[in-house]
Amino acid sequence: MMEDLQNYSGYQEFNLTQPMIYILILLAIWDLVWKLIAMWKAGRNNQLAWYIAIAVLNTVGILPIVYLLINRNKTNIKSKETDAYIQHADRK
């Protein structure tokens, strides 16, 4: 009984099989792609709260996709103003 307690580390052995490793790698790549796209758009739109939430929370791509769906028609206001200024300056 004492030997069993001394040998027990509290953790069970968990073996990853090769297909499981491939699935984890694909999920990591999936999450990274969506996260980078959403963070780029949040940064361009000056939405710091979204940027931090997407960077910190690991949701396997769900939160970035939700952000992109919510903000798909919104564009950067500064970019529109800059474009309008450039077009106006070109006309002169």
Which structure tokens are listed for 42? 């949040």
Number of H helices, E strands in the chain: 5, 0
Q: Which pair of structure tokens corresponds to residue 6?
A: 């001394």
Q: What is the pTM of this model?
A: 0.61
pLDDT at 46 over 90: yes
Listed residue (9, 56, 48, 52) closest to 31, CA to CA? 56
Distance between CA 87 and CA 81 in Å, rounded? 10
Domain chopping of the chain, boundaries: 18-91
The whole-number average pLDDT for the span 36-57 is 93
CA distance 47 to 39: 9
